[in-house]
Each structure stands twice: as structure tokens, then as C-alpha cells.
Amino acid sequence: MNFSSARKQISLDNKNLSYLDIGTGPVLLFGHSYLWDAKMWAPQIEHLSKQYRCVVPDLWGHGGSDTLPESTHSLRDISQQMLQLMDSLSIDDFSVIGLSVGGMWGAELALIAPTRVKALVMMNCFIGYEPDVARAEYYAMLDIIKETQGIPASLIEQIAPLYFAKSVEQDNPELFATFKQSLAEIDTGRIESICRLGKIIFGRRDTLDDVDKLTLPCLIMTGLEDTVRPVLESYLMHDAIAGSEFINIPHAGHISSLEQPDFVNQQLSQFLAKHLAE
């Protein structure tokens, strides 16, 4: 599916944020994973845009968006910018579907605009603190990327498998190869922004402190083979968020939207139909 005709942009904090706007109906705001872009949601957009209006931004420094604005220091700042995007489109209420960091800023957005966010889906995501050992490892990777002004081949071999189920090279070699190529081809002008954003993500606050305020319908989904955001973290979120729904995604790692698109589409359709019925 070619989304080029649905591509738009908005100026926020003196930078251009690129986004897709496709379909009509109740609005869904999507948030993609770190080191990916809006195309990560292609199967979901194709499926859901038949019934919903899908607004799918490229995160700062990713896809068609400019680098991270100087004034952006936290996931709350990013959630405020996404709210500005909704304001600019005169969209009063909407639901958020976020994967990884998309779910992290999605939760922050639900907290700052509780009357406007109608439902929240957090996939392959954890809104608590980054565990100390993992944070130290990610910071060390970011330091290497910043120092070399790129992602060295040896680091790509470390990073790429983190995003997928163990058998990705056999089951979906094209997806795996394309992602590795995208890491190798990251523009040097974006490196500083990507590293800053990485520190924001892995140094985030513990949003679980505020989960008692997440009273909207919440769906938590995670790939059973996700090593970046293991299933245990999703169980912790499910236990902490009253009334939340929890689903395991079989044969999927971190990028479950592309690894198991049909399963994910089915679960999203059911959740949204149940909670957004007019």
C-alpha cells in the first residue's frame, strides 16, 4: 500500500513533524518503535483505515520528520507535541495505539489529556523505569553510535536481532535484512538526535507511579519472544492498571506489528469495536 498521498507535515517547536493521515471515522493516533518509522504500522493502517481515521507520525529523527527539537527533554514533552498535532487537526478525542516508545509516550498522553484519549493500546512496551542493567547497556551502545557518528556493522549485528523473534532470519529474512540495511544507512545528521532520544527513552521516569489515573480502556499486548520488553514487564503493567486487558502475541518479538500482522489486526479490531462503539 502506497501512503505517499496521505503524507503531511506540521511545524512544532520550529521543526517539521511528518505524519500520515488516512481513512475516516473515529481517530487512532499511532506511535512507532525507536529506530523505525510510520511504515512499521503498514498492515494495521491498511486494515484499520477502512473504519477509522489513522494518524501516524514519524517520531523526531525518524522517517520524514526533522531532528528532535532542542526543547524536547522527556516523553511528556513528546506527548504534548502529539497533543498539539491533534489540536492542529481539530481532533477532540482519539485513541492511541503505541508500540515500544510509542506506548510510553502514549501512556503519558493519556495522563495529560484523560478526557480526550478514549482508549490506549500498549504493545511490546514498559512504562516503568528501564532496569539498571539494560539502561547501562543501551547507554553504552548510544555512546558508541555518537562517537562513531553511525552504527558500526558489529553493533548492527547486536541490535537487529533484539527486535525480532528468534527465527526471523528463516521466517522473514526480507524484514530482517531491510531493518539491518536501514540501521547501516542512518544519516549522520540524525545521529545526535537519535542518541538524545535514546537517552530520553531509556532514562524515562517511572510512569507506573501514576497508573491509578489510567482509568480508560487499556489493551496490553506483547510478543512472547520479545527480549527487549519481556512478557514479565507486560504482566507487571497489566497487574498495575485496573481493568486492563492482556494478550500474548505468539511467534513474535519486539516488532509484532510486522511479525504477526494478521493476529495483531484481529486483536486491535476486537478491542476497538468493543470500546469505541458509537
Q: Does residue 217 lie in a domain region?
A: yes
Per-residue pLDDT reduced to its tens digit, 113-169: 999 999 999 999 999 999 999 999 999 999 999 999 999 999 999 999 999 999 999
CA angle 224, 227, 232 (to 5 degrees): 60
Q: Does residue 189 lie in a domain region?
A: no
Q: Does residue 197 lie in a domain region?
A: no
Domain count, the chain: 1
What's the CA gap between 139 and 84, in Å, rounded?
30
Asked if 218 and 119 count as a contact pair (C-beta separation under 8 A), the reply is yes
What's the CA gap between 15 and 255, in Å, rounded?
27
Q: Which domain holds residue 218?
A: 4-129+206-275
- What ranges in the chain are assigned the alpha helix state H? 42-48, 75-88, 101-112, 132-148, 153-159, 168-171, 173-184, 191-202, 231-240, 256-259, 261-275
Residues near 107 by beta carbon (within 8 Å), at least 6 away in sequence: 98, 120, 122, 127, 207, 214
**Cell numbers describing residue 212:** 491509578
CATH number at residue 124: 3.40.50.1820
Instruction: Supply the pLDDT for residue 277.
Output: 73
**Average model confidence (pLDDT) for the chain?**
96
Per-residue pLDDT reduced to its tens digit, 157-200: 999 999 999 999 999 999 999 999 999 999 999 999 999 999 99
Q: Does residue 140 lie in a domain region?
A: no
Q: Does residue 162 lie in a domain region?
A: no
Q: Does residue 183 lie in a domain region?
A: no
Asked if 238 and 272 count as a contact pair (C-beta separation under 8 A), the reply is no
Q: Does residue 37 lie in a domain region?
A: yes
Count, residues in the chain: 278
Instruction: Supply the pLDDT for residue 19.
Output: 98
Q: Does residue 195 lie in a domain region?
A: no
